[in-house]
Amino acid sequence: MFAIPIAFFLSAIITWPILAEMELFERFYAYSRAHEDWDLDELVLLIGNLTIALIFSILFQWRRLKKLTAEREMQRQRAEKNARHDPLTGLMNRRAFTSALEKISDPASRPKDRVIAMVDLDRFKPVNDLYGHAAGDATLQTVAQRLSDEVGSDGILARLGGDEFAIIYEGTIDTNQAERISRRILHRMEEAVEFEECRIFISSSIGLVKWNTATPCAEAVRRADKALYTAKKEGRGQFAWYDAELDRQSHARAEIESDLREAILNCDIEPWFQPIIQIESNTLTGFEVLARWNHKSHGQIPPSTFITIAEDSGQIGNLGLSILRQACLAASHWDPKLTISFNVSPYQFHDPQLVDQIKEIVSECDFDARRLTIEVTESSVINDFEVARAKLDALKNIGVAVALDDFGTGYSSLASLRQLPFDRIKIDRSFVTNIAAEPQNQKIVSGIMALASGLELDVTAEGIESSDDLSYLQSLDCSLGQGFLFEKAVPAKQISWLLESKWIDRHVDPLDRGIEPPKDLRDAG
């Protein structure tokens, strides 16, 4: 009689993990209907067997659920670790590093001075190119281990991505300690990395910043990045501290670069004109075109600043063409005997379209190309004389004269003169200003004048600022001159005043003739 309940009990234990509870009780109901003639003791025994089966089933399910919960917790912890740690090096990643910064700078905690270091590897890209990505990964792992050894428990170390690492020094650490650790890191990074049969050599640069935790985290990281940029700019393989003044200058430069494109489009950068004088007759022959930019917030920006930015940002070509177009348009209304000289940047000179662009501008402005002189520096032509010769010949074919600017400052001036078809040379102002008191400069200028005479070239002397400078150049029969002694550069709208006042009779002051200068020229002195 008991064989049937026991069999049912065993069947329930075996099948319980598979069967749903409803299905099991349906089986029990069908079984009980088939045995309606059971006695009370048999029913009690059956219920007892079912209770035991239920307990075993609950225990089984509990153990199974506990195992699943443990596996899910491990997966969660693994996912959290992967989300906060770099899988290659095991260090914190950028997300975890940012969280650590935010925790340290919690407003509830007292602000403290800490040091943040940004570490970036030098010459890392060639490692992947020469040895493969496996070698690159091994190098990064070695770097991470070396950084961990040097930083130890004194700081928080993270890999931000690529070959860039970051350190937050915990506790109180002064600048001397931070610099000592940085020197050790720089030294360790120069040690060879062993990979298979290769020895890989790299170096690193470090940017350091003192961080008061009251300062926003993003600003602290930005300052550390600026310090790192400074270290790389100064030669790599060294550390540099954040410099607020350099940062201010960098910010101003970034603002200028951002405004430069719009300024070019709107012709906010204008041509100014400095007179070029025939020294022997003291007459005006033309002007050199100089760029001037009156920025809306920075005021007058030196050409050396915005021209360098234009070259670095690839906008020098558009800037040069804009200035030349404005200059030709203004000069087209002047006396046809007056010429203009325009300096072309080395970057612009290498543009294959330069000659066509100049030809198009003089045509648009109805400006006689024979009144234009293009000035180039030796750095524009030194790399390939044949290409330079072809371009200079093309300019001369459309009627444009060419001059070698800043003569005497290069290292191959004679080769340039011998091989290239220049019409004129310009003596750099560094040799001319105060020449009467500089015997060495006198010898250099005398030699240049003798060379130019032998090659039948005109000479323009820049930087004439005193009557002594002028007298010495007159004694050498220098043909042309320009400088503050004659006039500073002026905007196009003041050329008429100059022509009417200063170049009608230079021996009579224009105010004595009743000719008053424009207000902006009076304000400029």
pLDDT in tens, 200-229: 999 999 999 988 877 888 898 999 999 999
Q: How many CB atoms lie within 10 A of CB 38?
A: 14
CB 302 within 8 A of CB 354: no
End-to-end CA separation in angstroms for the chain = 127
Residue 520 has pLDDT above 70, yes or no: no
- Which residues fall within 8 angstroms of residue 20, CB to CB, at 6 or more apart? none
Nearest Cα to 252, choosing from 295, 288, 197, 219?
A: 295
Q: How many CB atoms lie within 10 A of CB 90?
A: 13
**Taking 50 as the threshold, does the pLDDT of residue 524 lie above it?**
no
Choose among 470, 495, 455, 449: nearest CA to 340.
495
Question: What is the pLDDT at residue 307?
Answer: 93
Q: What is the C-alpha separation between 354 and 344, in angstroms, rounded?
A: 10
Between β-strands 401-407 and 372-376, what pairing exists: parallel, antiparallel or unpaired?
A: parallel
How confident is the model at residue 279, as a pLDDT?
92
The whole-angstrom distance between residue 408's C-alpha and the CA centroid of its chain comes to 33
User: Over 50: is that where the pLDDT of 24 sits?
Assistant: yes
Q: What would the DSSP string read from start to end of 431-490?
A: HHTTGGG-HHHHHHHHHHHHHHHHHT-EEEE----SHHHHHHHHHTT--EE-STTT---E
Phi first, then psi, for residue 192 (nearest 5°) are -65, 145
Residue 57 pLDDT class (50, 70, 90 cuts): confident
Supply φ then ψ for residue 164, to 5 degrees.
-110, 130
Q: In the chain, what percentage of residues exceed pLDDT 90?
A: 45
Contact of 427 with 445, CB cutoff 8 Å = yes
CA separation for the pair 513, 521 (Å, rounded) = 17
For residues 210-248, one letter each, b for 16 or more C-beta atoms within 10 angstroms of the residue's C-beta and e for the rest, the string is: bbebeeebeebbebbbbbbbbbbeeeebbbbbbeeeebe
Residue 121 pLDDT: 94
Q: Which residue has the higher pLDDT, 254 or 508?
A: 254
Q: State the average pLDDT over residues 381-387.
A: 83
pLDDT digits (tens, 9 = 90+) for 393-442: 999 999 999 999 888 776 555 767 777 889 999 998 889 999 988 889 99
pLDDT at residue 26, as a whole number: 65
Residue 251 pLDDT class (50, 70, 90 cuts): confident
Per residue in 102-112, is it b (16+ CB within 10 Å) or e — as a string?
Answer: eebbeeeeeee
Q: Cα-atom radius of gyration of the chain, to the nearest Å?
A: 41
Which residue would you say has higher pLDDT here, 452 or 154? 452
Q: What is the pLDDT of residue 103?
A: 85
| Position 323 confidence tier, pLDDT thresholds 50, 70, 90 | very high
Q: Three-state DSSP class for 43?
A: helix
Model pLDDT for residues 338-347, shown as the tens digit of each residue: 999 999 998 8
**Quick one: angle between helices 175-189 and 133-151, nearest 10?**
150
Mean pLDDT value across the chain = 83
pLDDT band at 506 (very low <50, low <70, confident <90, very high): very low
pLDDT band at residue 316 under the 50/70/90 scheme: very high
Site of tokens 């670790």? 81
CA distances from 212 to 3, 154, 216, 267, 454 (A): 82, 18, 9, 44, 68
Q: Which residues, in sequence order, are bridge partners of residue 271?
A: 291
pLDDT at 228: 94
Tell me the β-bridge partners of 481: 277, 461
DSSP class of 294: E
Q: Do 348 and 295 contact (CB within 8 A), yes or no?
A: no
